[in-house]
Amino acid sequence: MFYRFCCKLTKKLKSFTLAKKKIVFYTCGDNKKQANAAYLIGSYAVMHLQKTPEEAYSLLVSRNSTYLSFRDASFGTCMYNLNILDCLRAIYKALQFGWLDFSQFDVEEYEHYERAENGDFNWIIPGKFLAFSGPHPKSKIENGYPLHAPEAYFPYFRKHNITAIVRLNKKMYDAKRFTDMGFEHHDLFFVDGSTPNDAIVRKFLNICENADGAIAVHCKAGLGRTGTLIGCYMMKHYRLTASEAIAWMRICRPGSVIGPQQNFVEDKQISLWSEGDVFREKMNEQENGKLAVTRILSGVDDITINGSNKSRMSKKEEYSDDEERNGITQGDKLRALKSKRQARTTTGSLSMPSPHGLGILYYFNECHICYFKGSHVGTSNENPKENVIVVEHLVPTWTVCRQLCTPMAVGFVIPWQASGSTLLEPLRHRVARVLSGVSAF
């Protein structure tokens, strides 16, 4: 929304026909909409009008205006508030560090991949951290939410130099499915909705500081635990405040960092700033030839963190191994909420191609159930993805589809009623199940 707002306002400001007119941005009396509108126009002032966060915020409150704070996505009592100034400061820092660059931003790609049926992932720091919903043993629809097997992510991860995966939830899939394909895979489990201990924080930082490429991090929904640890890295290595880190993550991936995790991130700010200062000092010494170390590991060897989390231990951490696998957890609730929210937005202004038929898309060893427009789509020289709406990724069935086309074809779409569709008959029940669970179509 921020990107589209900026594009629309910039276009009006540069319009020759509007050159002598004032542009008024307004909203209704709803307090929530007023806060959202203030965030949009304030962020525009920071990004495009070279205002500092404080200057932009002072304009918003110059007439004693007050705005609602932003809260987390949990279902309980609000424990932590973010205000508009926190968000403006997050935008300002993101511009400084090069995380926010609309000249390089692909809004269509962002909106595509943030949808549950297309992977449910977002870049938090471009080229460094990708947050995503936890993979499942096989692709399917569960409680209205599309789940994806690890193989569904391989093409995108390879294309964007993601070399390591960090799993924070219980084991729902075999890690070998990633490692056998050349990815590093790390398990750092802690309970859904809880906060990590210092050992987990140190291990996470160690992994990220030594990764050769980008890191994909997931828990169950890819929001709470995922955002908490990425936030720790941002505070240590970029000296963001806790509120700036949380605000930026929610701008990139709404719903990130939940409940007591917000207070945990705030409590860790000072110690992580100190660790980051020492880390950078050591790195500078290494670059200046004062140290013979060729690789500095995460953490500071001469600093001990004295178990600051012990006071936070509660009965919530007396956890059954099967609870997250079989029970309804916070992650399940958040994924269900996100799925419903996206289904609503699809019926609005989001532009989607008009589907003309159901088919199977095969493209560079990827296989999907899809809708397509036109009588047929795809040749050996075209990208058929441009003309389809992907419904579900299929891992084990692409070889069946390949039998229907020349082996030289790079990509193609097979209409469901195509000749030889008896080969697709085993998939018919799967398609029916997908269609019953995907309200976007």
What's the pLDDT tens digit per position in 159-209? Answer: 999 999 999 999 999 999 999 999 999 999 999 999 999 999 999 999 999
Instruction: State mean pLDDT over 14-38.
Output: 93
**pLDDT given at position 176:** 97
For 419, which DSSP code?
T
- Whether 274 shows a pLDDT value over 90: the answer reads yes
* pLDDT confidence band for 322 (50 / 70 / 90): very low
DSSP letters, 289-351, are: TS---S-PPSS-TT-----TTGGG--GGGS--TTHHHHS--HHHHHHHHHHHHHHHHHTTT--
Encode pLDDT of 95-136 as tens digits. 999 999 999 999 999 999 999 999 999 999 999 999 999 999
Count of residues in the chain: 441
pLDDT of 246 reads 98
More confident residue, 187 or 385: 187
Residue 312: pLDDT over 50: no
pLDDT reported for residue 74: 84
pLDDT at 351 over 70: no
Q: What is the predicted pLDDT for the residue at 132?
A: 97
The secondary structure of the chain in percent helix, strand, coil, rounded to multiples of 5, reads: 45, 15, 40
Report how far residue 230's alpha carbon sits from residue 128's, in angstroms, rounded to the nearest whole number. 10
**pLDDT over 90 at 350, yes or no:** no
User: Between 389 and 2, whose confidence is greater?
Assistant: 2
- The CATH number assigned to the domain with range 106-326 reads 3.90.190.10
The CATH number of 2-70+82-95 is: 3.90.190.10
Q: Any idea which of 76-80, 164-168, 260-264 has the lowest mean pLDDT? A: 76-80
- What 8-state DSSP symbol labels residue 433? H
pLDDT at 269 > cutoff 70: yes
Per the CB < 8 A criterion, the answer to whether 276 and 299 are in contact is: no
* CA distance linking residue 21 with residue 203, whole number of Å: 57
What pLDDT score does 130 carry? 98
Phi, psi for 414 (deg, rounded to 5):
-100, 115
- Token match 């669970």: residue? 437
**Which is more confident, 1 or 38?**
38
Please report the pLDDT score of residue 338 as a whole number: 64
pLDDT at 440 over 50: no
> Bridge-partner residues for 218, per DSSP?
132, 167
Give CA–CA dist 125/137, Å, rounded. Answer: 28
The residue that leads in pLDDT, 357 or 407, is: 357
So which residues are the catalytic ones? Answer: 219
Determine the residue type at 352.
M
pLDDT band, very low/low/confident/very high, at 145 (cuts 50, 70, 90): confident
CA distance 107 to 124: 15
Highest mean pLDDT of the ranges 230-234, 381-385, 399-403 = 230-234
Closest CA to 255 of 180, 162, 336, 178: 336
Indicate whether 238 pLDDT > 80. yes
pTM: 0.69
Tokens of 397: 């069935």
Q: Where in the chain is the domain with CATH 3.90.190.10?
A: 2-70+82-95, 106-326
DSSP 151: G
Q: What's the mean per-residue pLDDT of the chain? A: 78
Amino acid sitting at position 145: Y
Which residues are registered as beta bridge partners of 214? Answer: 162
